[in-house]
Amino acid sequence: MDRGAKLRELIERDELLMAIGGWDALTARMAQQAGAEAVYMSGSCVSSSVHGGPDVGLTTMTEMVRRARQMAGVLDVPLIADGDTGYGNEMNVHRTVREYERAGVNAIQLEDQTFPKRCGHFDGKSIVDPADFAAKVEAATDARESEDFQIIARTDALATDGLDEAIRRANLYKEAGADVLFVEAPTEREQMERVCREAPGPLLANLAAKGKTPPIPAEELADIGYDLAIYPSDSFKAALKTIQNTYETLIDERSQENILDGMVEWGERDEITEMGDVEALEDKYAAAKERYADAYDEL
């Protein structure tokens, strides 16, 4: 079964699918090694890793596609990727979907914010007319080459216009062809329960670490009515804290002594980066050189 068909199967089952966030090939590989059934490419984390600043619409489509291709290249499990606003109008969305799918992505998340967008858990967001975004959703469904490639339609209307408008928009986006609906940044469990009652599934919850949405366990999310949840920034925020502490300690103490215990060993790093597979290939091709050298001498 290919990854796109696998993703559809995982979303349609009774158990909640947890898509674990990453932002490059190494974190994608580590998520898979840890047992993730799907990986989510976080636009916010990619954005900050590309230009060192906040997620405020500064990352381009080509930068995102490049990163998605790198992540997809090391994965056997499905990859869901943030596509922001689609980087323009309906024709831009059409191209964005094609580029993402051909990069190895299995589902793209698109949102109804104006451009430049902001992280869904930031203040100061604004949204486009619902009909404009519905047309983008239709363009996205037209662009995909496989029916297993899924379109996730996100609305940020809850923060700007309230829950009624967010649910109304979600229903419209489903009519436009979205496979999965995503009402961003509910602040209370009661809001999430209402979304699940009044919006058609499948439904996605965003468990952005320390964001606006309460940290509800996966089993409870499934009971509420969600089909999948993304955990976009847990590892990124943990990495930031570790890196910050490492640099500050090294500079302040002028010694590595008190940070060594927080590092992986050389052998652990080689296991994570699958050095053994590289060495096996090196041995194979070294033996091939000897074979061909012998064969050449006999010609």
What is the residue range of 56's domain? 3-232
Residues 188 and 253 grouped into a single domain: no
Tell me the pLDDT tens digit for each residue of 179-220.
999 999 999 999 999 999 999 989 999 999 888 999 999 999
Same domain, 66 and 171: yes
Say if residue 120 is in the same domain as residue 198: yes
What digits encode the pLDDT tens for the residues 272-288?
999 999 999 999 999 99
Tens-digit pLDDT profile for residues 47-89: 999 999 998 989 999 999 999 999 999 999 999 999 999 999 9
What is the distance between the alpha carbons of residues 185 and 162, in angstroms, rounded to a whole number? 11
**Structure-token pair, residue 42:** 């976080």
Residue 224: closest CA among 252, 203, 245, 243 = 203
Quick one: 179 and 266 in the same domain?
no
CB atoms within 10 A of CB 125: 21
CA–CA distance, 29 with 39 (Å, rounded to integer): 9
Model pLDDT, residue 186: 96
Q: How far apart are CA 204 and CA 91, in angstroms?
A: 26
pLDDT computed for residue 118 by the predictor:
77
CA distance 234 to 42: 11
Of 285, 274, 240, 196, whose CA–CA distance to 42 is shortest? 240
Judgement on whether residues 186 and 276 belong to the same structural domain of the protein: no
- Helices 163-175 and 130-143, packing angle to 10 deg: 30
Task: From 232, 263, 282, give the residue that closes a domain.
Answer: 232
Q: Among 232, 255, 277, where does a domain finish?
A: 232
Where is the domain boundary, 195, 211, 232?
232
- Tell me, what CATH number does 77's domain have? 3.20.20.60
Mean pLDDT across 239-249: 97
3-state helix, strand, coil in the chain (%, to 5): 50, 15, 35
pTM over 0.85: yes
Residues 47 and 145 in one domain: yes
User: How many other C-beta atoms can be found within 10 angstroms of the C-beta atom of residue 191?
Assistant: 18
Q: Is the pLDDT of residue 122 over 80?
A: no
Q: Are 227 and 263 in a shared domain?
A: no
Number of separate domains in the chain:
2
Identify residue 56 by its one-letter amino acid code: V
141 and 252 share one domain: no
Question: Do 113 and 227 lie in a common domain?
Answer: yes
Looking at residue 117, its pLDDT comes to 85
